[in-house]
């Protein structure tokens, strides 16, 4: 069975991560093997780099290089092998997040990011990209309210609302350019958000309709 690469994207506080358990259960109910992972992270090396990226101050180029270094190890050691086995790969963020956060948010040159993307995600046939990206779209002001007091924020979560407005705009630009994106209105209740996710997957023929999974 052909592997399926599904990514979840959105600004901090959008609630995307809270639906990964339900997505895993949904695909397993369809008889699929599932590999769950995240970015930055997914391997011991990438998790070490994640800690540096989220906690250490650095300029946008250094940050971008570390993100793509973590991604390369992740792709080689986890994502490519899982897809070759025919797994469903559920990844909490991928390259779209780099263009949104380092590109739009920090104002780093998207042409340099595109070059790094081509180096890191090179594949025999074509550039490795998700088959479908669920974009959890939420107004930055609402996301900030959700994050307030939730936990000790990392250096991205502690950014001002204006930063997240730029990040959200970056995601919107990526979504407009790529049909693989499916916008999820993350301002709705948890149940309503999950209903949207199920509907998108069913419409694209990725799961059977009325699968019965619950968020």
Name the binding residues for ATP.
10-17
Binding residues: 10-17
Distance CA 64, CA 86 (A): 30
Q: Which two tokens stand for residue 54?
A: 């989220």
Cα→Cα distances 179→15, 134, 187, Å = 22, 11, 22
Residue with tokens 């040159």: 109
């Amino acid at each position: 069975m052909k592997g399926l690469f599904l990514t979840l994207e959105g600004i901090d506080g959008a609630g995307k991560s809270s639906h990964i358990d339900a997505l895993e259960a949904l695909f397993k109910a369809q008889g699929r093997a599932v590999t769950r992972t995240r970015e930055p992270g997914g391997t011991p090396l990438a998790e070490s780099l994640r800690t540096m990226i989220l906690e250490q101050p650095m300029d946008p180029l250094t940050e971008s290089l570390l993100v793509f270094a973590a991604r390369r190890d992740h792709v080689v050691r986890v994502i490519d092998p899982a897809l070759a086995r025919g797994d469903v790969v559920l990844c909490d963020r991928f390259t779209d997040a780099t263009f949104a956060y380092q590109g739009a948010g920090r104002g780093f040159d998207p042409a340099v990011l595109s070059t790094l993307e081509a180096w890191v995600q090179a594949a025999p046939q074509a550039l490795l990209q998700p088959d479908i990206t669920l974009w959890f779209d939420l107004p930055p002001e609402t996301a900030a309210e959700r994050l307030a007091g939730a936990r000790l924020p990392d250096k991205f979560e502690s950014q001002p609302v204006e930063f997240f407005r730029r990040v959200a705009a970056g995601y919107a630009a990526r979504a407009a350019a790529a049909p693989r994106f499916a916008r999820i209105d993350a301002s709705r209740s948890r149940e309503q958000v999950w209903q949207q996710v199920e509907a998108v997957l069913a419409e694209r023929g990725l799961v059977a309709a009325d699968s019965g999974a619950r968020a």
